[in-house]
Structure 1
Amino acid sequence: MGAEAIVAAAPATPPPAEAAAAAAEPDLPPGPSFVVDVPPPMHGATPPARLREQPPKLITLSNAVAAVTYLSSFPLLGYGVWLLATRDLNCEGLLLPADGPGSSSVINYRAGFGAALLVAFAASCFFAYGGAKVLHPGAAALACLLVVMLVLGVVFLGSFAMESRGVPFSPMWVRTRVAREDTWAEVRTCLHKSRVCRDMAFRTIELSPDKFKEEDLPPIESGCCKPPELCGMEYVNATYWNRPRDENPPPNGTYAGGGGGSYLTSYATTTTTTATGNSSANPKTFGDCLSYSNVETQLCYECQSCKEGFIKSVNAHWKKLGEFLISMSVILLTVHAVRFVVTMITRE
């Protein structure tokens, strides 16, 4: 056979798939354009959400409320950090019952209140930042927390107004605890270790006697670090005083010796009338003139004026704490309620 027969007998190469498809498809004229009607959603199906641009005024209001919420929460942070970072708040935690010697009750008291205020601050800021994502659960949890704060504040103020020895941190309860010798011994030691009087001495070291008398000292510094004014002692510095001379005896008391002198314990028979005719003086305070000493570890820690100053400081602190909790809870409840309403309107 010739070459032509061999070529004719060879199998033909199949055309490509695209070419075969194009060859099989007939040429059709272009048809008219048309729109496919999408059937309506079935009954019960959720229609697609429509994004609507919020009005600028509503966005501005939402941002302003969020900023006010942040700023209103910062006092909680400051007070909580102060409770955790500062010292024993003038040793008032020692009035709480403890399982044993030491300041375990103080630690629990300070850590509890400080941590609670930090949690309230974190919850308030979280709801202000991401409240739209967890609107209803977040609002409910925050409202419960703020209501607890409000109730605690009312309890503190209520206990302050109650004259009952059975209500913790009421004035009568504090006075009863201070009257116990073992409790006051711990408080006295704590006051000395806290360097209250030493700090006062360094703070007023450059003051003259007249300027020192004009100082508005806290109750503990005024009662525990210096003698009462009626003792008539001469000012040297804040924690060192010279006793009066023989020619100027203290009211209703006598003393022996020259120079500094030493008082005789004749206060048991004294009356409330002083040498100057002051009938309103407290005879218990006259004994403070005997109790005062220039020794740093003693000073006037055993004076009745020191106990009164300590009681006054504790009562004032708990009253301020109650007022703080009430005011902060009311402010945050109001601000977060406005924030909740604005967020609901924005979501709609």
Structure 2
Amino acid sequence: MVKFSNNLVGILNIITFLLSIPILGAGIWLSTRASTDCEKFLEKPVIALGVFLMVVSLAGLLGACCGVSWLLWLYLLVMFLLILLLFCFTVFTFVVTNKGAGDVVSGRGYKEYRLGDYSNWLQKRVNNDGNWNKIRSCIRDSKVCDSLSQKNQTFDEFVNDNLSPLQSGCCKPPTACNFTFISETVWNKPQGFTNSSIDDCNSWQNDPSILCYSCQSCKAGVLANLKNDWKKVAIVNVIFLVFLVIVYSIGCCAFRNNRNNNYQGWKGRP
């Protein structure tokens, strides 16, 4: 007799299977429509996630509802590995995002960001030329600086604006450069300016395709944005981890039911 736990595992996996269909569809849609590096970067992970959820949910569904013990055992093994992986990733996320915060600038409504304030692991990721070229392309594609320049603010309005980490780090030069404000993304260097002791001041260009995209402050702004996002993801992971542990426990009960049913069936043979 199929027990309550088997039915519950079956229902949960039906829901998971149904969720995997739009995820897989979104990945396939991205693969046919992707035109930017950011979109191309997302397509493979989304497709892989959709296929993974579909296969695992089918294994759990057949194993629990059809009494296929080896499929349910495989399902539980994958679930255990997923729980372990998610736990390690969550701990890692909290560790690498523990350091780093924006610096309040006197007379400014926004914060500025320094790369050295963040963990060494994150710094190495953005200092890698291959990684940064892709990230820089994503920032340009997002038009985050274009949206800032369209505000047409006065200097007083600009300095009191609550800029995002990306806008503060990538779309303007650091305040310490003392450049002359023309518009949100156009700043003139002082007459006779040659080289500054601040590398970001030397990197700044008014060209919309350059701006401060090669600045350390831009990399720091990316990490500040990443830190905020990862903190949110880590919180969601903790909730999801609790859910997976509950599902895994129910799955173990279903697996025990399968074994008992198979044993009783074997004993009942003439």
The TM-score with structure 1 as length reference comes to 0.47
Partner of 1:174 in structure 2? 122
In the alignment, structure 1 residue 227 sits paired with structure 2 residue 173: yes
Structure with a larger share of its residues in helix: 2
How far apart, in 2, do the equivalents of 1:79 and 1:233 lie?
Answer: 48
Choose the corresponding residue for 1:241, options 186, 208, 219: 186
Q: Quick one: which of 71, 92, 106 aligns to 1:138?
A: 71
> In the alignment, what sits opposite 1:153?
86
Asked whether the equivalents of residues 197 and 225 of structure 1 are also in contact (C-alpha less than 8 Å), the reply is no
Provide the residue aligned with 2:53 in structure 1.
121
Counterpart contact for 1:236–1:242, Cα < 8 Å: yes
The DSSP-based 3-state class of the residue aligned with 2:143 is helix
Give the partner amino acid of 2:169: G
Decide whether aligned partners of structure 1 residues 123 and 328 sit closer, same or farther in structure 2, where only a CA change above 3 A counts: farther
Aligned residue in 2 for 1:274 = none
Aligned pairs (5 A) from 1:1-348? 66-71=10-15, 85=30, 88=37, 111=44, 113-114=45-46, 116-127=48-59, 129-130=61-62, 131-160=64-93, 161=95, 171-179=119-127, 183-184=128-129, 186-194=130-138, 196=140, 199-204=143-148, 206-209=150-153, 210=157, 214=161, 217=164, 219-229=165-175, 231=178, 233-234=180-181, 236-237=183-184, 240-243=185-188, 255-256=190-191, 263-265=193-195, 267-268=196-197, 284=198, 287-313=199-225, 327-335=239-247, 337-338=249-250, 341=253, 344=257
Counterpart residue type for residue 306 of structure 1: C
Counterpart-to-counterpart distance in 1, 2:6 and 2:27: 33
CA contact 1:292–1:298 (8 Å) conserved in 2: yes
- What's the CA shift for 1:125? 2.9
Cα distance change on mapping 1:176 and 1:136 into 2, 3 Å = same
- Residues 314, 63 of structure 1: CA spacing in aligned structure 2 closer, same or farther, 3 A cutoff? same
Contact 1:224–1:309 (8 Å) recurs in 2: yes
Q: Which has the larger radius of gyration?
A: 1
Q: Give the whole-Å Cα distance in 1 for the aligned partners of 2:158 and 2:19.
A: 34
* Offset at residue 303 of structure 1 (A): 1.4
Which amino acid is the alignment partner of residue 146 of structure 1? Answer: M
1:306/1:69 CA distance change after superposition, 3 Å:
same
SS at match of 1:190: helix
CA distance in 2, matches of 1:83, 1:320: 23
Tell me, yes or no, if the aligned pair for 1:143 and 1:333 is still in contact at 8 Å.
no
Which ranges in structure 2 are unaligned for 5 or more consecutive residues?
98-117, 265-270
| Secondary structure, counterpart of 1:194 in structure 2 | helix
State how far apart, in whole Å, the 1-side matches of 2:183 and 2:149 are. 10
* TM-score, normalised relative to structure 2: 0.58
